């Protein structure tokens, strides 16, 4: 029903406006007392065989929502009902920011893809932290970044602020240094910056009762030499995992009318590229480094292949837009049958 009726209607409107409006409708519909129970009973696939234990956490299933979808942590309870095993919020910055000028989100329907240049638009760490004070029944990741106005020489402080503020309210952290939509951010994937940052973050969490996992999200556009360098930083600093990958700015041959827009490309054209990065990391680390695989998953079969490439968990973003929330149920059913 989603692909035949709902998405054709939604796709008549501006992507960012309809995203906001859909979020509003979800809030309204979930105020109907029985609706949450009905949705959960239909979408959620429950089985101990789907559970994954990684970096001290137990995920009910390996299918999560990638950062950027519910960046302000406004719909965690609702999305949990759709059967996701974890939800990553953010990217969160210390100060609220509007992001880049609109129009900044583009569908590429013929390519089953999206180009975005959102620019870390979010409500800021204080507001988002307050929303996370509720008790949720799903694991939450906190994706953190720097404000656009913060120079790279002071970027470490932005990550530290977000880390401190969110520490008691998320289950794991993701250091985002790979978005192409904040000027200069990808330069922070350097060995020097990451070593400096991780030393500080490790000092902070060593003073906490509970050790929260720290992951890093990397670009699919890095050379193998650069990825290997980051893996050395991860090993040196006892970082818990890696997310592969963020969006790409290395566009393949695209068909859609929006193919020349600038920003990060996600969806089907990214699928093979992210799998190559995942496979490279898995082989370099003998499968021991936890990998969250994201990029272009829109079918259960693609989810299986991403896990076979080396991902321990997977995340969806563009696949939800094109396939609807039912994709998570289909993937979990497939994984359950294959017992991956």
Q: Which residue has the tokens 């904040």?
A: 182
Q: Which band of pLDDT confidence, cut at 50, 70 and 90, is reported for residue 1? A: confident
Distance CA 147, CA 158 (A): 7
pLDDT of residue 278: 98
Distance CA 193, CA 190 (A): 6
| Strand ranges for the chain from DSSP E | 52-54, 57-59, 63-65, 86-92, 105-108, 113-116, 139-144, 172-176, 214-218, 241-244, 264-267, 291-294, 313-316
Identify the CA nearest to 55 among candidates 199, 169, 197, 211: 211
pLDDT of residue 33: 87
pLDDT of residue 252: 87
The tokens of 175 are what? Answer: 């250091």
Catalytic pick among 178, 179, 282, 298: 179
pLDDT of residue 227: 98
pLDDT of residue 264: 98
7 an active-site residue? no
pLDDT of residue 213: 98
110-126 per-position pLDDT tens digit = 999 999 999 999 999 99
pLDDT of residue 338: 82
Phi-psi category of 191—alpha, beta or left, where left has phi over 0 and alpha has psi -120 to 50?
A: alpha
Give ∠ CA 21-137-292 in degrees, rounded to 5: 80
288-309 per-position pLDDT tens digit = 999 999 999 999 999 999 999 9
* Helix 224-236 and helix 271-284, axial crossing angle in degrees, nearest 10: 50
Span 44-57, mean pLDDT?
Answer: 97
pLDDT of residue 63: 98
Span 80-108, mean pLDDT?
Answer: 98
The set of residues, in sequence order, having a beta carbon less than 8 Å from that of 162 and lying 6+ positions away, is 92, 93, 94, 125, 142, 144, 145
Does the domain made of 2-44+56-338 have the CATH classification 3.20.20.70? Answer: yes
Span 200-214, mean pLDDT?
Answer: 97
Domain ranges of the chain: 2-44+56-338
Span 228-240, mean pLDDT?
Answer: 98
Span 35-64, mean pLDDT?
Answer: 96
pLDDT of residue 340: 62
Identify the CA nearest to 177 among candidates 222, 138, 144: 144
Q: How many helices (H) and strands (E) does the chain have?
A: 12, 13
Using only C-alpha atoms, the chain has a radius of gyration, in whole angstroms, of: 19
Q: Cβ(15)–Cβ(114) under 8 Å?
A: yes
5-42 per-position pLDDT tens digit = 999 999 999 999 999 999 999 999 999 989 999 999 99
Span 150-167, mean pLDDT?
Answer: 98
């Amino acid at each position: 029903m989603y692909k035949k009726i709902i998405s054709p209607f939604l796709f008549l409107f501006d992507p960012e406006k309809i995203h906001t409006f859909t979020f509003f409708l979800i809030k309204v519909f979930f105020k109907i007392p029985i609706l949450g129970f009905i949705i959960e009973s239909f979408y959620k696939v429950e089985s101990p065989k789907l559970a994954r234990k990684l970096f001290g956490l137990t995920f009910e299933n390996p299918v999560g929502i990638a950062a950027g979808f519910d960046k302000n942590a406004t719909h965690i309870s609702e999305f949990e009902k759709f059967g996701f095993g974890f939800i990553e919020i953010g990217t969160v910055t210390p100060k609220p920011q509007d992001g880049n000028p609109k129009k900044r989100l583009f569908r590429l329907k013929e390519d089953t893809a999206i180009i975005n240049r959102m620019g870390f638009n979010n409500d800021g760490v204080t507001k988002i932290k307050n929303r996370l004070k509720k008790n949720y029944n799903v694991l939450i990741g906190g994706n953190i970044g720097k404000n656009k106005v913060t120079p790279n020489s002071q970027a470490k402080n932005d990550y530290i602020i977000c880390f401190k503020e969110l520490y008691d309210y998320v289950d794991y952290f993701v250091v985002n240094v790979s978005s192409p939509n904040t000027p200069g951010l990808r330069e922070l994937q350097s060995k020097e910056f990451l070593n400096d940052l991780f030393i500080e973050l490790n000092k902070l969490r060593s003073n906490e009762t509970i050790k929260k996992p720290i992951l890093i999200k990397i670009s699919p556009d890095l050379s193998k030499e650069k990825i290997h360098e980051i893996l050395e930083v991860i090993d040196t600093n006892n970082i818990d995992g890696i997310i592969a990958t963020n969006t790409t700015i290395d566009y393949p041959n695209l068909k859609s009318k929006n193919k020349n827009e600038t920003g990060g490309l996600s969806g089907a054209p990214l699928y093979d590229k992210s799998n190559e990065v995942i496979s490279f990391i898995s082989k370099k680390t003998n499968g021991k480094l936890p990998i969250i695989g994201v990029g272009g998953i829109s079918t259960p079969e693609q989810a299986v292949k991403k896990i076979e490439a080396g991902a321990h968990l997977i995340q969806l973003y563009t696949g939800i837009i094109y396939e609807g929330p039912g994709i998570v149920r289909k993937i979990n059913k497939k994984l359950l049958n294959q017992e991956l």
